[in-house]
């Protein structure tokens, strides 16, 4: 009975939640161009901020939970469901699917808290702090290049690289997940502006090409 009640509470929570860009879902579906560029929000991803010395015992224990810690700027460590992004020499962002969050029956955050233990370090739940946009397709890079100063050419910005930058003037973590796919992690309060900026930047690719 207890498990049934807990499941009902979780399902009820899912029904009442609204993601930062949920009101743009229709616009993103309508503004995406099949075979060219697609934009969607991946809401409620589990995100955890970590501050720990990667060479310490606590860092080793954190690494055993996440599958490792990246060692330098731009590097990520990706496992089956957990990805760790480098933010600084002792600062990292852990991302995982929605179900990894402790409030939905997962144990990722508590596992990370337990890994730090009484050692010097910090684990902070940032899941409500940011949202996630996915931008993919052959024109995805061209869309980003309209408002991002990074060199996004594939010979420079490789898959599984992640860097702090700005897109359309909005601070984001930009992660390249594949040859034609990106994830953007803006703060929740900037989701509306960035979503609309991306849609506007995509608009030209809905028009027939001029030869």
Claim to verify: residue 140 and residue 200 sit in the same structural domain = yes
pTM, rounded to two decimals = 0.89
Instruction: Mark residue 49 as left, alpha or beta (left: phi above 0; alpha: psi -120 to 50; beta: remaining).
Output: beta
Claim to verify: residue 55 and residue 159 sit in the same structural domain = no
End-to-end CA distance of the chain: 66
Chain Cα centroid distance, residue 182: 9
* pLDDT score of 12: 54
Claim to verify: residue 181 and residue 77 sit in the same structural domain = no
- Residue 142 structure tokens: 């061209």
- The CA distance from 111 to 108, in Å, is 5
Three-state DSSP state, 41: strand
Q: Which residues contact 179 (CB under 8 A, 6 or more apart)?
A: 154, 159
One DSSP character per residue, 82-105 reads -EEEEEETTEEEEEE-GGGSGGGT
Bridge-based pairing state of the strands 91-96 and 83-88: antiparallel
In a domain, 101, yes or no: yes
Using alpha carbons only, give the angle 40, 88, 173 rounded to the nearest 5 degrees.
Answer: 15
In a domain, 179, yes or no: yes
Claim to verify: residue 136 and residue 73 sit in the same structural domain = no
In a domain, 85, yes or no: yes
**What is the domain count for the chain?**
2
Output the domain CATH number for residue 154: 3.30.1360.120
Quick check: 147 and 197 in contact, CB under 8 A?
A: yes
* pLDDT score of 104: 87
In a domain, 70, yes or no: yes
Claim to verify: residue 35 and residue 53 sit in the same structural domain = no
Claim to verify: residue 116 and residue 176 sit in the same structural domain = no
Q: How many helices (H) and strands (E) does the chain have?
A: 6, 10
* pLDDT score of 7: 47
Claim to verify: residue 112 and residue 183 sit in the same structural domain = no
Quick check: 40 and 134 in contact, CB under 8 A?
A: yes
Picking from 102, 128, 154, the residue at the C-terminal end of a domain is 128
In a domain, 1, yes or no: no
Picking from 128, 145, 179, the residue at the C-terminal end of a domain is 128
Claim to verify: residue 93 and residue 163 sit in the same structural domain = no
Output the domain CATH number for residue 98: 3.30.70.1520
* pLDDT score of 86: 98
Picking from 112, 128, 144, the residue at the C-terminal end of a domain is 128
In a domain, 10, yes or no: no
Structural domain range at position 179: 23-43+131-211
In a domain, 18, yes or no: no
Name the H helices within the chain. 2-16, 25-31, 57-66, 108-116, 140-145, 191-202
Claim to verify: residue 75 and residue 106 sit in the same structural domain = yes
In a domain, 11, yes or no: no
Q: pLDDT per position in the chain (211 positions), as tens?
A: 445 555 455 555 556 789 999 999 999 999 999 999 999 999 999 999 999 999 999 999 999 999 999 999 999 999 888 999 999 999 999 999 999 998 888 999 999 999 999 999 999 999 999 999 999 999 999 999 999 999 999 999 999 999 999 999 999 999 999 999 999 999 999 999 999 999 999 999 987 664 4
Claim to verify: residue 156 and residue 140 sit in the same structural domain = yes
The CA-based dihedral angle spanning residues 191, 42, 158, 59, taken in that order and rounded to the nearest 10 degrees: 90
Claim to verify: residue 52 and residue 39 sit in the same structural domain = no
- Residue 169 structure tokens: 């003037």
Claim to verify: residue 104 and residue 135 sit in the same structural domain = no
- The CA distance from 162 to 177, in Å, is 9
């Amino acid at each position: 009975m207890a498990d049934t009640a807990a499941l009902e509470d979780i399902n009820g929570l899912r029904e009442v939640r609204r993601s930062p860009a949920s009101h743009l879902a229709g616009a993103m579906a309508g503004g995406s161009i099949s075979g060219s560029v697609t934009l969607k929000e991946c809401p409620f991803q589990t995100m955890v901020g970590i501050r720990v010395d990667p060479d310490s015992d606590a860092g080793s224990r954190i690494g055993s939970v996440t599958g490792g810690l990246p060692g330098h700027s731009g590097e990520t460590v990706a496992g089956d469901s957990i990805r760790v992004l480098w933010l600084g020499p002792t600062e990292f962002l852990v991302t995982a699917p929605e179900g990894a969050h402790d409030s939905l029956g997962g144990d990722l955050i508590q596992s990370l808290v337990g890994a730090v233990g009484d050692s010097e370090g910090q684990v902070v739940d940032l899941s409500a702090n940011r949202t996630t946009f996915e931008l993919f397709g052959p024109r995805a890079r061209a869309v980003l290049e309209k408002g991002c100063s990074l060199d996004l050419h594939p010979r420079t910005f490789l898959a599984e690289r992640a860097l702090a930058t700005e897109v359309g003037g909005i601070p984001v973590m930009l992660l390249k997940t594949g040859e034609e796919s990106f994830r953007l992690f803006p703060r929740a309060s900037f989701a509306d502006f960035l979503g609309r900026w991306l849609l506007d930047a995509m608009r030209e690719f809905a028009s027939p090409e001029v030869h």
